[in-house]
Structure 1
């Protein structure tokens, strides 16, 4: 959505109201006295599930209870009739199905919702191609009903038919310690969430049955093995496919462990009332060659079909080498295994287009997108402001509907659908967008968000919700200090909060409010704290031998005002309250010490709500080091270098490589999400710029003085193989330790046209974990006159 349109919508909302416009031509059907009639041809358990789902969701929102009837009523109320598209009539009444070629409601999972006036009164038909068609037709109705206290209606006439574009539309919901909320859920909460996902087009749920942490979550309501069987039962109730993700994390050549693993699987298969797909990742985790993996999968399939004859086996090629990938395709060509359903494509898999090209057509491809993380992930937030990256972290509430719609559109045509990776309820909007666009790739994101708002918050909040979620996504675009829309978004959600007090216990509402408050608090802190740092740096830059001791004390006193007189304490207090509310309502663990989250990366934004957004921790440590230097001259030189770190003087330039606000000359972005460090559980005292980095940045400089000599200075870790205008330069200073300096003299011939391009070759470090890879965090182009600074 165009940011200008969002701001306009927000302003209009603040000035006007949240009233929903209904076209005059739409004549609503009043369903307050409706009854439900189900064809006996609808298979069990959907014959019971669909009317129960419809009745219960309506009752929650309206206080109106719809009852089932066994025959057409005599007093001619409106009847909601559930039938299959193969039915010709329902208890003597013909079903008014239009004769159309290639009808959506006869395709798998397709449905038609149709209003009709007939001899029995008014009928609202929900016609499904199969049991799932009934489920998704019911979901469409719930998303489009106007429901409020003692109000239940829908615009008429209705004739909507639809079928999904992709057959696999699911989400992984692991009941495990790693999750930031699922581990705290009851069976009833899982049932409700499965239901809500189904209402928005989801047809698959993936669990994680084995290989979990030795220590169970302190939040478990029932033991994990028991819950995973309950999840299977819920899938059976809603006719959802039950997948399980289960890596082989031991050497498959170990005969004893292999047999124990097969026995474990068989026991689980036998206990599950429903089980449709087994997904074994080749890597991440796992480190077995496919020559061992493929026979193991075949043995799994033999056990699986004993209890679930139609169930299927899947494999991902994650982490496989070129040789291992070739082996896999050779195996398919030679053996043509009919027990393998297809390949799962996830992070570190071979390119999707290559996979589709090489994979024989009889095998499907299922995408495994990471929709839950913000950094260090498959789809990092591009150019995410440093302040967000260091406070919100990996698993903050992250509605990114417009981004994920684009990401899905790129990959989906190569696939048969997806089951996403999710580690908590914080990505709820993303799940809905993926499911709905998996159903209809051309669906309007704005309309999807309107349906989300209408169903979860009420009919008067559909437009408001759609624009409010879009505004939250825009909060993460560009430099935070320059994004005045953050304050507008906050005012928007604050007004919604004030006008809708009845939603204060709704966990989805709480998530949006938390983001609105947190984003605003972070922006205000950033402006305030970095303002303090500029004042402290100015003091240090003006120090001299006589007053440097006093200046150090004064600089620390100024920069530490961030702790002594913090910005917006009322927002800080509200964030604390919302985190408590979310733990109570949905088990969201935003803190390790307070809510016993598994770890600080698991959505613990409350633990980082006050993490410094200036360099006061680093400055305190540096001043301690300065005081240990032998001479006052050395001390003074270091103080001045600190003072002008980001302001090297006229004609010189500084770039914080991965800061969207302080790296104006940087052209590149990290495409592997490893540019935000995670040291000391996120509580590093290192300079903020060194916690964000790239491996091989590229920068362009112009308006240079052709007659001046320039030096390039770099701070980082490991190697920095620098080129200027494509030519490698030899360094005059080259330190590989963390946060040390490297320098190169720029040849005069390079600056004669007033511009240079700076690039870095990426060193060969494939054998290293990303945390040990070389990195570059700060770059200066220093005019010779300012070199001593």
Structure 2
């Protein structure tokens, strides 16, 4: 009994101590130093008061004098001695809060009165200090609680932490936003340490039916927003013309001159060297010099940046020779983006006087710098290039890899579907040691509430794992759906929150595609059992029954409840944030732009391919020909005892493959995403490497290859000549392996790359399927 009493007292003490550490700021007033100039001072108060009110219904009033009856939040700058007659606690020399954009947040208690001090190194530091408070305070109905023991001082590791938010036709959501939505999103990003926004003005950008105002007007409005918040405003401005065309060149200069003049704030101009465009740096550099002359007329401290995207080795060498010869002071730095020379090489070759900025693609899943690794084809075919992609661990690692070589980043983004990734980059740009889990808990606390912070952060981490490996064996996908369903049921107040809608969509969509793949592949296996009886049934009857079975995916679909839920969420996201998941229904600009609803039922078995192949078979003249082709179709992935089959980029069916595909999903977007080719043909590598072991020393082998174009095959380094060489998609190339190559029981198969620099990359040669057939 005595032991129980002691434990009870200790328990109560712990609870009391925990509560004692929470400072109640529900009725706090706000004081802001007069040294924080307009408009940033007004913005600071507006952000604080509005975010507090939205989450708690508490009203924080700004005052110019100390309130003896309430706690106070005081926002000041480094070097100030007093605020309204009260001494400001001293700051140590070289403390983190004294460095650019740094801040300190701490509590000063005098009697029963508490002051939350936010001391910024500058106006941005004060803004980021407010962000720290908002993402760590416990905000609930009529309650603002804050850790009374907090004393936090910090400054950013990287001084460029930005995101591109282009208001343009190719964006999957932001083109439907109004000015207020843009401001709210920018404000949200600033809470997590973002200090730069990049927009995309241009002569060719027209107002589409989703845009509430013309593009040029929105670009200027965002400039005003950045001025209000005291952060940097960048613009991405390609040449958009042949710079040797004097008339077009002059037109472009005049357009940008007028745009610069109308921008209330402009800090940096980023010119992509070769994406888009094919201008030589001998023409680009004089153009940029003329551009900078116009820029500084209206924005004297603004700078010009260039990327070497798409530059050949000769163009790259010319650029660095130009820097060495001219040492232009008008150039501020170089940007490394998709298609640029390596980041480490760029920093090594770039003279120290020039800054170096990363342009990371955090928005795309395939056909990009950082494609999703170990991704199941079911997701490739249905999510496509711009599916909702929260990947905190993946992008934290990418940031850590390249951050040491740069002064910061402005990410490449085409919508709000990558919102989590933006926050990861901003927070890791501030502190590279920040743990993704910790960042996600702050993210969830701010957007979904303190009580849900840990649970939802764990849920986001789990969603990332949904995309890791074959869906068939990833049982966590089903568990995650139940987890999110429970959260959804318990938190109806979040139903209209677009970030919440996106996370729910991922949970439902991932599970729907997993179940569909398992079901549709089972149907295909059942159908092949019919084809196995073709000699008894006859070709035409076997074909009919085979198609009836595989087409049950359409005639007898499963999980309709999940499908309806996904449709409802797509409707909701279109209404809440303009997220366009279908070209026809939601006005997406094209099928590669986040059209997850449009491709929600794209076949995950080969029923389209089978229908087309069977039509060809039905036109053959003899029954023997038909049966021979149907046997090839049936045994496509089962070449027989002692033989091997590899779908070279499928994470489930490529056991002999040594290489990984840079981007395994390119061909899936033939025919605007509606390719009817065999699913294995929609995965490829240009130069796969395969190894086969435990071969029969006395066996005779044939290598069969399917893909597109040429396949310059070598076995153990020896080039083999083909017996059959069909270069069409789905056609076969066959090579006899001479016996001296297999006598040690092991062979390595490689492919030389043909010279195809004059062919568009989507049409270049590749390999999709490889068989080693024992004859």
Count of matched residue pairs: 761
Mapped pair 1:747 → 2:741: no
Mapped pair 1:348 → 2:342: no
Which of 324, 338, 342 is equivalent to 1:333?
324
Mapped pair 1:544 → 2:538: no
1:60 corresponding residue in structure 2: 54
Mapped pair 1:162 → 2:154: yes
- What does residue range 575-590 of structure 1 map to in structure 2 within 5 Å? 575-590=566-581
1:87 corresponding residue in structure 2: 80
> What RMSD over aligned residues (CA atoms) do the two structures have, in Å?
1.5
Matched residues in 2 for 1:22 and 1:286: separation? Answer: 65
Q: Helix, strand or coil: the match of 2:197?
A: strand
Write the deviation string for residues 98-120 of structure 1: whole angstroms up to 9, x where unpaired. Answer: 42x42111111000001011379
User: Which TM-score applies when normalising by structure 1?
Assistant: 0.95
Matched residues in 2 for 1:434 and 1:693: separation? Answer: 31
Mapped pair 1:41 → 2:35: yes
Q: CA shift at 1:675, angstroms?
A: 4.2
2:433 corresponding residue in structure 1: 442
Which of 104, 107, 112 is equivalent to 2:96?
104
Mapped pair 1:74 → 2:74: no
1:657 corresponding residue in structure 2: 648
Matched residues in 2 for 1:450 and 1:22: separation? Answer: 25
Write the deviation string for residues 685-738 of structure 1: whole angstroms up to 9, x where unpaired. Answer: 111111111101111222322232111111111111112222222222112222
Matched residues in 2 for 1:23 and 1:525: separation? Answer: 52
Matched residues in 1 for 2:47 and 2:290: separation? Answer: 39
1:228 corresponding residue in structure 2: 219
Which of 383, 400, 412 is equivalent to 2:403?
412
1:729 corresponding residue in structure 2: 720
2:12 corresponding residue in structure 1: none
Which of 609, 624, 635 is equivalent to 2:626?
635
- What does residue range 18-37 of structure 1 map to in structure 2 within 5 Å? 24=18, 27-37=21-31
Q: CA shift at 1:605, angstroms?
A: 0.6
Mapped pair 1:208 → 2:175: no
Structure 2, gaps ≥5 residues long: 1-14
Q: CA shift at 1:753, angstroms?
A: 3.2
1:322 corresponding residue in structure 2: 313
Matched residues in 1 for 2:574 and 2:110: separation? Answer: 50
Mapped pair 1:246 → 2:246: no
2:471 corresponding residue in structure 1: 480
- What does residue range 71-470 of structure 1 map to in structure 2 within 5 Å? 71-75=65-69, 77-99=70-92, 101-118=93-110, 121-213=113-205, 215-470=206-461
Matched residues in 2 for 1:531 and 1:97: separation? Answer: 71
Q: CA shift at 1:748, angstroms?
A: 2.3
Q: Helix, strand or coil: the match of 1:455?
A: helix
Matched residues in 2 for 1:520 and 1:282: separation? Answer: 42
The answer to whether the Cα contact below 8 Å between 2:380 and 2:665 also exists between their aligned partners in 1 is: no
Matched residues in 1 for 2:666 and 2:649: separation? Answer: 7
- Distance change (3 Å), C-alpha of 1:707 and 1:673: closer
Write the deviation string for residues 6-52 of structure 1: whole angstroms up to 9, x where unpaired. Answer: xxxxxxxxxxxxxxx99948710001110001111112222111121
The answer to whether the Cα contact below 8 Å between 1:382 and 1:669 also exists between their aligned partners in 2 is: no
The answer to whether the Cα contact below 8 Å between 1:545 and 1:632 also exists between their aligned partners in 2 is: no
Write the deviation string for residues 559-581 of structure 1: whole angstroms up to 9, x where unpaired. Answer: 11111111211000000000000
Q: CA shift at 1:439, angstroms?
A: 0.5
- Distance change (3 Å), C-alpha of 1:461 and 1:23: farther
The answer to whether the Cα contact below 8 Å between 2:664 and 2:684 also exists between their aligned partners in 1 is: no
Q: Helix, strand or coil: the match of 1:679?
A: helix
Structure 1, gaps ≥5 residues long: 1-20, 785-789
Write the deviation string for residues 284-339 of structure 1: whole angstroms up to 9, x where unpaired. Answer: 10111111111111111111111111111011111112221111111111111111
Q: Helix, strand or coil: the match of 2:417?
A: helix
Write the deviation string for residues 346-386 of structure 1: whole angstroms up to 9, x where unpaired. Answer: 11111111111111101000100110000111111123111
Matched residues in 1 for 2:632 and 2:210: separation? Answer: 50
Matched residues in 2 for 1:773 and 1:22: separation? Answer: 69
- Distance change (3 Å), C-alpha of 1:125 and 1:758: same
2:702 corresponding residue in structure 1: 711
1:764 corresponding residue in structure 2: 755
Matched residues in 2 for 1:535 and 1:673: separation? Answer: 28
Matched residues in 2 for 1:22 and 1:351: separation? Answer: 56
Q: CA shift at 1:143, angstroms?
A: 0.5
Mapped pair 1:507 → 2:498: yes
The answer to whether the Cα contact below 8 Å between 2:76 and 2:126 also exists between their aligned partners in 1 is: yes
1:14 corresponding residue in structure 2: none
Q: CA shift at 1:155, angstroms?
A: 1.6
Q: CA shift at 1:81, angstroms?
A: 0.1
Q: Helix, strand or coil: the match of 2:597?
A: helix
Q: Helix, strand or coil: the match of 2:535?
A: coil
Matched residues in 1 for 2:745 and 2:627: separation? Answer: 34
Matched residues in 1 for 2:384 and 2:20: separation? Answer: 46
Q: CA shift at 1:595, angstroms?
A: 0.5
Q: CA shift at 1:655, angstroms?
A: 1.2
Higher relative CO (Cα under 8 Å, sequence separation at least 6) belongs to 1
Which shows bigger deviation, 723-732 or 615-624?
723-732
Q: CA shift at 1:181, angstroms?
A: 0.2
- Distance change (3 Å), C-alpha of 1:345 and 1:86: same
2:524 corresponding residue in structure 1: 533
The answer to whether the Cα contact below 8 Å between 1:674 and 1:770 also exists between their aligned partners in 2 is: no
Q: Helix, strand or coil: the match of 2:153?
A: strand
The answer to whether the Cα contact below 8 Å between 2:64 and 2:84 also exists between their aligned partners in 1 is: no
Q: CA shift at 1:756, angstroms?
A: 2.1
Matched residues in 1 for 2:664 and 2:632: separation? Answer: 31
The answer to whether the Cα contact below 8 Å between 2:704 and 2:770 also exists between their aligned partners in 1 is: yes
- What does residue range 539-618 of structure 1 map to in structure 2 within 5 Å? 539-544=530-535, 546-618=537-609
Q: Helix, strand or coil: the match of 1:70?
A: coil
The answer to whether the Cα contact below 8 Å between 2:363 and 2:413 also exists between their aligned partners in 1 is: yes
User: Which TM-score applies when normalising by structure 2?
Assistant: 0.96
The answer to whether the Cα contact below 8 Å between 2:667 and 2:762 also exists between their aligned partners in 1 is: no
